């Protein structure tokens, strides 16, 4: 089970006492609802804009950067800066407040706060029970995969000392071993034991929160040093009894780890280019699925792995394609729980290569991938959709000998979707994409190989740890056959192990970051191991620690090329909807030709930056370039568009600008889909001994990946 154990240390970072921690346990720590109350309705926006000199204090005079603090365990609101004036109200841990003033009374520092930007309901908190918080960024644990346990340190210099060491890997291993034995050495406060639900789980799924308090950019190895507070919001009511879910939704109680392994389900969707040159590869894929079917049937495990298949081609708006190409995309087998390989085999006989060439060498791979991921605007009937929710391990194998039509191509089926959006959607749904790129002589002659390789390597980046891209010479059908059979074979081997109650162990040989030399079987096992750990953690009720505050590196200290923490923005459903409304207005104005190109960039960057720092400021006038830079300086990570200069934007020309606007329009659709998804969590306090009542659905929260911001 993945848990974080606290190793003894001379003093906690903020000098939190055991009393504070006990209070945190009783108070049911969580992010306060006040963090997420935003100006969605126009009267509220107007009210926020009318804040005068009596509004919150700013971090920089004349800026839009309001000072904010998080409440810590034991904090209690007071009517005035005096311990005798308590209101009796103890806010949930990590409640977010705007700062309106400071005072010192009898040697004790106080902070005047309110949970809004216009000063209603001001009160006072002891300063030593607050901590400054300047952005909306939270960190989530990256998948366990091949990274080691995450170490938490008392001071950033202790992290830098490890990074500077020549024998860094040995030092890290020694520190982890000392922490396991209860000895905190060289400034180590805590460590994350690899395995279980916390490693790689979304924050709302595993019930932990890690707001970023501050950061330092290390000069060593491109690593960010992050000061984070970590809080387990689960307290009070006990977790539900361990159980696993069947295809029909039945919950089966279990406390037996070996028995639970038998219920891990795998979903595989093949997205296949079926243009005129792909005949031999379609046939070899059918043979590989036949082998998988026979192996699973022999051991009675056909229901453990589900298969789907989408074929794609290209535009059909002109002849001869209009009458002879048949389809741009077609679902031959939808992914559903229990869609065993026999169903796919029944339909694969109808999967044939096209009889006519398409209009361009690159094909509409994005259309196939978008439909495979169940995009909200996908042109699919209810019976054609891929149901990923019933699968624990989720894979897409993209098989093609051509590049993908570029974003914004007017002949593409979904012109507002690009590969970066596909990558973000796949990560959000925990779907791993394996592009298998067939390199043909014709593709080389048409200079298609380089751009296609770049496209598919981007698509295959797996959360900063591995790259799942595979290329093979198109005339080497045997090598292609070997790759396909090895990938499917490792899935089948793992399913058999789980049926026997055997757990996968972490690969002893570190994964090679070069996708061309790493066996695809190792990549599959790495992903299946991560799925196994998360599944067992959910079954066993794995949890993060109650509360601590420390410094950590965002990369694995022993292997800094592997991500240890990933950044997200914590938003309410209201905030996400407000973000979408403001972006939609910008895009519509730009597409109608009513806005200067420079103003369009300013507007988009203003919305994106404010969302990452303080969504309550959305709806206000655009940031100046100077203020925008001040916002960016507060962020350890920024979406790609925020790094564009005005000159970059103007120099790129109309077509790239249109493509970027198209990608933002696609993200608007993704926001609507996300708003209706199950990622949202009600953070209403759960008070021990009291019944739980749901709060406002608009204030439910979700960690939104930075990739989803414009």
* Mean pLDDT (10-residue bins), the chain, 710 residues: 38 36 32 30 28 67 73 87 88 81 93 87 92 81 76 89 88 86 78 52 58 80 83 50 67 77 91 94 93 90 90 93 93 87 87 92 95 86 89 95 88 86 86 95 93 91 78 93 94 93 76 74 89 76 60 88 82 81 82 75 82 71 70 74 82 80 77 76 50 59 76
pLDDT for the residue numbered 600:
84
DSSP characters over 283-342:
HHHHHHHHHHHHHHHHTT-GGGEEEEEEEE----SSTTHHHHS--SEEEEE---TT--HH
214 - beta bridge partners? Answer: 227
How far apart are the C-alpha atoms of 164 and 402, rounded to whole Å? 44
How far apart are the C-alpha atoms of 346 and 171, rounded to whole Å? 56
Which helix or strand (DSSP H or E) is residue 124 part of?
strand 123-126
**CB neighbours of 309 closer than 8 A, spacing ≥ 6?**
269, 270, 271, 272, 331, 332, 333, 344, 347, 348, 351
**CB neighbours of 593 closer than 8 A, spacing ≥ 6?**
none
pLDDT for the residue numbered 447:
93
How many CB atoms lie under 10 A from the CB of residue 585?
Answer: 12
Q: How many CA atoms lie within 13 A of 10 on its CB side?
A: 6
CB-based contacts of 18-21 (< 8 A; 24+ apart in sequence): 19/74, 20/72, 20/73, 20/74, 20/129, 21/73, 21/546, 21/547
Determine the Cα angle at 258 with ends 256 and 264, to 5°: 105
pLDDT for the residue numbered 535:
82
Tokens of 386: 């891929």
Alpha-carbon dihedral sign for residues 649, 650, 656, 659:
positive
312 - beta bridge partners? Answer: 273, 329
Tokens of 179: 């922490």
Nearest residue to 99 via CA among 128, 73, 133, 74: 133
pLDDT for the residue numbered 541:
57
How far apart are the C-alpha atoms of 240 and 207, rounded to whole Å? 14
How far apart are the C-alpha atoms of 229 and 138, rounded to whole Å? 9
pLDDT for the residue numbered 145:
66
Structural Rg of the chain based on CA atoms? 26
**φ, ψ for residue 302 (rounded to 5)?**
-60, -25
pLDDT for the residue numbered 1:
28
How far apart are the C-alpha atoms of 558 and 148, rounded to whole Å? 8
Nearest residue to 640 via CA among 426, 364, 424: 424
pLDDT for the residue numbered 351:
94
Tell me the pairing of strands 108-114 and 123-126: antiparallel
Burial call 390-419: b when 16+ CB within 10 Å, e when fewer: bbbbbbbbbbbbbbbbbbbbeebbbbbbbb
4 - beta bridge partners? Answer: 192
């Amino acid at each position: 089970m993945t848990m974080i154990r606290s190793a003894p240390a001379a003093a906690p970072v903020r000098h939190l006492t055991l009393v504070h921690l006990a209070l945190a346990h009783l108070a049911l720590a969580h992010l306060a609802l006040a963090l997420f109350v935003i100006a969605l309705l126009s009267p509220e926006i107007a009210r926020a804009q009318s804040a005068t000199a009596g509004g919150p204090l700013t971090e920089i005079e004349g800026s839009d950067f309001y000072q904010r603090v998080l409440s810590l365990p034991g904090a209690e609101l007071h009517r005035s800066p005096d311990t005798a004036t308590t209101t009796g109200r103890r806010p949930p841990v990590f409640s977010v407040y705007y700062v309106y003033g400071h005072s010192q009374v009898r040697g004790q520092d106080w902070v005047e706060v309110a949970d809004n930007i216009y000063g209603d309901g001001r009160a006072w908190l002891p300063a030593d029970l607050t901590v400054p918080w300047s952005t909306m960024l939270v960190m989530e644990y990256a998948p366990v995969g091949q990274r080691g346990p995450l170490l938490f340190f008392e001071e950033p210099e202790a992290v830098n000392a490890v990074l500077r060491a020549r024998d860094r890997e040995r030092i890290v291993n020694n520190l982890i071993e000392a922490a396991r034995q209860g000895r905190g050495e060289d400034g180590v406060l805590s460590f994350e034991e690899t395995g279980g639900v916390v490693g790689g789980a979304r924050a709302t799924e595993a019930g932990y929160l890690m707001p970023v308090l501050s950061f330092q950019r290390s000069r060593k190895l491109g690593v960010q040093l992050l000061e984070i507070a970590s809080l387990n919001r689960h307290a009070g009511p006990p977790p539900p009894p361990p159980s696993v879910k069947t295809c029909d939704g039945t919950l089966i109680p279990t406390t037996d780890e070996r028995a639970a392994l038998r219920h891990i389900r795998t979903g595989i969707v093949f997205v296949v280019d079926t243009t005129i040159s792909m005949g031999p590869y379609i046939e070899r894929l059918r043979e590989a699925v036949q082998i998988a079917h026979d192996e699973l049937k022999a051991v009675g495990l056909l229901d453990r792995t589900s298969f789907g298949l989408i074929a794609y081609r290209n535009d059909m708006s002109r002849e001869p394609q209009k009458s002879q190409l048949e389809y741009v995309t077609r679902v031959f087998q939808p992914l559903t729980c229990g869609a065993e390989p026999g169903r796919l085999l029944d339909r694969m006989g109808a999967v044939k290569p096209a009889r006519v060439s398409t209009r361009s060498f690159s094909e509409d791979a994005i259309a196939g991938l978008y439909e495979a991921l169940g995009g909200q605007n996908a042109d699919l009937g209810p019976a054609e959709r891929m149901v990923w929710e019933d699968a624990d391990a989720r894979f897409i194998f993209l098989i093609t000998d051509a590049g993908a039509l570029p974003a914004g191509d007017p002949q593409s089926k979904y012109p507002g979707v690009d590969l970066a959006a596909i990558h973000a959607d796949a990560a959000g749904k925990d779907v791993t994409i394996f592009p298998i790129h067939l390199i043909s002589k014709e593709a080389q002659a048409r200079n298609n190989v380089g751009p296609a390789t770049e496209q598919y390597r981007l698509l295959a980046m797996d959360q900063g740890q591995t790259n799942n891209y595979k290329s093979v010479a198109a005339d080497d059908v045997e090598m292609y056959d070997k790759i396909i059979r090895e990938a499917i074979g490792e899935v089948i081997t793992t399913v058999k192990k789980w049926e026997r109650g055997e757990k996968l162990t972490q690969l002893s040989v570190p994964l090679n970051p070069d996708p061309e030399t790493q066996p695809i079987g190792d990549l599959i096992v790495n992903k299946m191991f991560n799925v196994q750990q998360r599944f067992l953690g959910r079954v066993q009720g794995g949890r993060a620690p109650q509360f601590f505050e420390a410094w950590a590196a965002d990369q694995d200290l022993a292997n800094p090329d592997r991500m240890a923490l990933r950044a997200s923005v914590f938003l309410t459903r209201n905030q996400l909807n407000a973000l979408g409304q403001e972006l939609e207005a910008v895009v519509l104005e730009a597409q109608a030709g009513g806005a200067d190109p420079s103003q369009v960039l300013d507007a988009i960057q203003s919305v994106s930056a404010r969302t990452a720092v303080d969504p309550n400021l959305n709806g206000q006038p655009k940031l100046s370039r100077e203020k925008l830079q001040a916002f960016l300086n507060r962020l350890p990570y920024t979406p790609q568009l925020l790094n564009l200069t005005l000159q970059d934007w103007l120099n790129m020309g109309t077509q790239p600008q249109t493509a970027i606007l198209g990608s933002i329009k696609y993200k608007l659709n993704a926001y609507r889909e996300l708003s209706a998804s199950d990622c949202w969590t009600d953070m209403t306090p759960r008070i021990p001994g009291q019944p739980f009542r749901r709060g406002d659905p608009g204030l439910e929260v979700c960690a939104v990946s930075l990739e989803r911001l414009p």
